[in-house]
Structure 1
Amino acid sequence: MWKGRFALSGRLCCFPKDPLEEAETWGESVDKLLECKSGQIAFRDFLKSEYSEENILFWLACEEYKKIKSVPEMISSANRIYSEFVQVEAPRQINIDCGTRENITKNISQPSLSSFDTAQKLIYSLMARDCYPRFLKSDLYQALLMRADSR
């Protein structure tokens, strides 16, 4: 049985609904799951249990990165994302092809808001086709659905 840190009451979600009510919509698509803060937390806890938490952390970092307005902040954030997730032997190295990794490495000295787009799409695709279906079958998600149904 799952015993994560995910709060099962309160209004954590980006929508004005209870997270338990939102849990039912997460089964519709990976986008529904990722657009909701409580969905991100539940999915992150699941990925942590599978030792692949770096995927959602990278995806979320890229989402925040694309909102940056100043060049100095973009450079700083790009270097942090690169050193944490992209470079070979990074502490949370993501699983991307060597061409994508080399392209990011080559351009990291002059980052743009689209610097990580290809890698982010690859990780999104990996999560959507591989991790997300397992999440839907997981004890974690099933327990949330049962709690929602029993209200």
Structure 2
Amino acid sequence: MHELVPVGFVRTPIEDVVAWGESLDQLLECKTGRLVFEDFLRTEYSEENLLFWLACEDYKKTNNEKETTVAAKRIYAEFVRVDAPRQINIDCVTREEISENITQPEPNCFDRAQRLIYSLMENDSYPRFLKSEMYQALLEQAEQQ
């Protein structure tokens, strides 16, 4: 089992690539990991899931009311709305709940949808990513260093 890396300790590329295989969280915590995962998702035409999840993470960090409203409407228009350009696959109840609250968005208005998308990535896309030629090639390359 890979141990947690102490603060201030710089991991080598091999440790990063190996860590990505341990959990989706480990993969998403690493900027390079996110980029590689996004590339993989693009090959499966499902990068909107990761982009939505990341947008929600940024949204939660917004603490100015005006910025929160603008960010919420952008996320809604890009990912949630029925005809959104990068429409995510969520149930109609969750979509409707967000639609009803988008005029006065709360900090947690996307939480349910974000959990659904995380679960979809964790149980569907992530296992395929680990088996993909893309990840296997990186792992092999890293192990040769």
TM-score where L is the length of structure 1:
0.88
Moved more, 16-25 or 47-56: 16-25
Shift of 1:20: 3.9
Residue identity in the other structure for 2:30: C
Whether 2:100 is the aligned partner of 1:113: answer: no
Residue identity in the other structure for 2:55: A
In the alignment of these two chains, the number of paired residues is: 137
**Within 5 A, what are the aligned runs for 1:124-139?**
124-139=118-133
Indicate conservation of the 8 Å contact 1:19/1:38, yes or no.
no
User: Who is 1:8 aligned against?
Assistant: none
Whether 2:50 is the aligned partner of 1:89: answer: no
User: Who is 2:117 aligned against?
Assistant: 123
User: Who is 1:67 aligned against?
Assistant: 61
Whether 2:126 is the aligned partner of 1:98: answer: no
Aligned residue among 45, 54, 66 for 2:48: 54
User: Who is 1:39 aligned against?
Assistant: 33
Residue identity in the other structure for 2:114: Q
In structure 2, stretches of 5+ residues that fail to align are 1-8
Shift of 1:121: 0.2
Residue identity in the other structure for 1:42: V
Per the alignment, in what secondary structure is the counterpart of residue 125 of structure 2?
A: helix
CA distance in 1, matches of 2:21, 2:71: 32
Structure with higher helix content: 2
In structure 1, stretches of 5+ residues that fail to align are 1-14
Shift of 1:19: 3.6
The percentage of counterpart residues that share the same residue type is 61
Taking only aligned residues, the RMSD between alpha carbons, in angstroms, comes to 1.0
Shift of 1:16: 2.8
Per the alignment, in what secondary structure is the counterpart of residue 105 of structure 1?
A: helix
How far does the alpha carbon of each residue in 1:42-87 deviate from its partner, in whole angstroms, 9 at most, with x for none? 1100000000000000000000000001000000000000000000
TM-score where L is the length of structure 2:
0.92
Q: Which ranges of 4 or more aligned residues in structure 1 deviate by more than 6 Å?
A: none
Whether 2:33 is the aligned partner of 1:29: answer: no
CA distance in 2, matches of 1:149, 1:127: 26
